[in-house]
Amino acid sequence: MESTCLTDPTLVLNKNWLPIQVCSVRRAFTMLFKGLARVVEPQGYSLYDFDSWSDLAIPRGESFVQGVSRRIRIPEVIVLHGCDRFNRPRVAFTRRNLFRRDRNCCQYCGKKCSTEVLSIDHVIPRCAGGEGSWTNCVVACLACNARKGGRLVREAGMQLLREPVEPPAQSAFTLHVNRRKASWEHFVSEAYWNTELKP
């Protein structure tokens, strides 16, 4: 197969047809081949498994990869079925995403700081069984983190500005919008309208 197209992005929808991630064409082919996903044909939204997709004639101008005996059209949108791990879109719990959620503001004193002088505070300290999670971690300035130490928030006489929550998944999706393909537009705008708004 030609390597150039295999690194192109493919939009991944969950079984409710909501976009949850962008993967490479190579990964999309792997999921198709394993039967974990089907291709959504961008014009008519018909679904194809790996074999029926491979048999499909390639319209003029469409990208394809060259297999051993045939050319296979590039899947631009795939939909997963039944794989629970993927069905609920999640934002990866990473340092970068945590800082992004808290907008680089200390969640105790509210001061906005550069990343270097901020730390991650465990609301319930690790020594008291607190875990590293969206709902137990906040960004804190070094001064507030030192003041709180290994204590609970109220033990330290402090207060959180807001309850830490897992950010909505669509915000993870916006990270990829600069790599959008025309065939994704329908699904991406669906996601926009389906995003829960804060009361």
- The footprint of Zn ion (CB under 5 A) covers 106, 108-109, 141, 144
- Enter the tokens of residue 131: 């875990």
* Closer residue to Zn ion, CB minimum distance, 25 or 106: 106
Nearer to Zn ion, 26 or 147 (CB): 147
Beta carbon nearer to Zn ion, 104 or 183: 104
CB of 140 to Zn ion, least distance (A): 6
**Least Cβ distance, residue 94 to Zn ion (angstroms):** 22
C-beta of 149: minimal distance to Zn ion in Å?
13
Give CA separation, 23 vs 2, 8, 10, 32, 124, in Å: 17, 8, 5, 12, 35
Cα angle 172, 23, 175; round to 5: 25
Nearest-approach distance from CB 160 to Zn ion, in angstroms? 11
Shorter beta-carbon distance to Zn ion: residue 31 or 106: 106
Whose Cβ is closer to Zn ion: residue 58's or residue 142's?
142
In whole angstroms, the minimum distance from the beta carbon of 81 to Zn ion comes to: 46
DSSP 110: -
Helix, strand, or coil here: 198?
A: coil
User: Which of 101, 87, 153, 105 is closest to 125 using CA atoms?
Assistant: 153
Indicate the helix (H) or strand (E) that contains 139. Answer: strand 137-141
- The DSSP annotation for 18-87 comes to -EEEEEEHHHHHHHHHTTSEEEEPTTT--EE-HHHHHHSPPPTT--EEE-SSSEEEPPSEEEE-S-HHHH
Whole-number minimum distance, CB 132 to Zn ion, in Å? 20
CB closer to Zn ion out of 89 and 164: 164
